[in-house]
Amino acid sequence: MLTSNSTIGFIGTGVMGKSMAVNLQNAGFSLAVYTRTKEKAQGLVDNGANWKSTIAELAVSADVIITMVGYPSDVEEVYFGEGGILENAAAGNYVIDMTTSKPTLAEKIFKEAKARGIYALDAPVSGGDVGAKNASLAIMVGGEQQDFDAIAPLLHVMGNNVILQGAAGAGQHTKLANQITIASTMVGVCEAIAYARKSGLDPSRVLDSISTGAAGSFSLTKLAPRILAGDFAPGFYVKHFIKDMTIALESAEEMGMSTPGLALSLELYRELAEKGEEDSGTQALIKLFEE
């Protein structure tokens, strides 16, 4: 049972994870953290978090363990690797993977955790660095109802749209649907800005007109202004978006489904990454249209 005295273990304090962890600290939770590079968590440690030098050390000290890492291979490692979470977390504790990962991997974690008496949920997020900082993330959850009910107050510290979508893996499937939507939207936003500039319009005035109409979206409202400002810093990395789109495309193919918009977007982002932009934000796609 989650209480104000519960210790939250957090693994992965990157662009989004760090802000999510800060919000947990600000809500009064005791925090234990582990990252491969301690410097990335130094701000949290300076603010009172307990640094753990191994995953195993963190797992045995926490009542709830949240993971927010990069790739499915990282998820595999932290949960199933030697000294990993599942062999060290105590029965009755909770593990929440908030990484965007494979639905089949979420199901695997759930089954193994359940066999050990551990409660597991997949809970990927959307909202980028802004949503993480403002605790306004959309959090899409897969797992059992009673486990969701137990940890929902914790999730609401990090997001304002928290929905149980179904059984294990459902959170990941929902996030992939989210990424499929964003994929084609980002192409449209970048094409629109390039078109506006090419036609001699003031693109900022164009945004004022179209962002509140039928074209309105997070990408248009939050990322298009960054494009106009020449700000390509990552709210969400190109390389991670490629990872997400690849998982979504593979999942769609496994279901016998065609996703041509997704396929085109993935092709364009791979081209962008090959030009050295993999560590830029997704808004850097504009560079392909204005070469």
Q: What is the pLDDT along the chain (291 residues), one digit of tens a residue?
A: 677 688 999 999 888 999 999 999 999 999 999 998 888 888 899 999 999 999 999 999 999 999 999 999 999 999 998 899 999 999 999 999 999 999 999 999 999 999 999 999 999 999 988 899 999 999 999 999 999 999 999 999 999 999 999 999 999 999 999 999 999 999 999 999 999 999 999 999 999 999 999 999 999 999 999 999 999 999 889 999 999 999 999 999 999 999 999 999 999 999 999 999 999 999 999 999 987
Residue (of 64, 45, 233, 47) closest to 157 by Cα position? 64
Domain with CATH 1.10.1040.10 in the chain: 173-289
Domain 7-168, CATH class in plain words: alpha beta
- Residue 41 to residue 139: CA distance in whole angstroms: 23
Is residue 175 annotated as a catalytic residue, yes or no?
yes
| CATH number belonging to domain 173-289 | 1.10.1040.10
DSSP assignment letter at 66: E
The CATH 3.40.50.720 domain(s) of the chain lie at 7-168
CA distances from 150 to 2, 3, 92, 122 (A): 6, 10, 12, 14
Q: Round to whole Å and give the CA distance between 94 and 64.
A: 5
Digit-coded pLDDT (tens) for 108-158: 999 999 999 999 999 999 998 889 999 999 999 999 999 999 999 999 999
Q: C-alpha distances in angstroms, 89 versus 63, 93, 116, 174, 255?
A: 8, 7, 9, 27, 34
Q: Which pTM does this prediction carry?
A: 0.93
* CA pair distance 251, 105, nearest whole angstrom: 12
Catalytic residue among 18, 102, 175, 243: 175
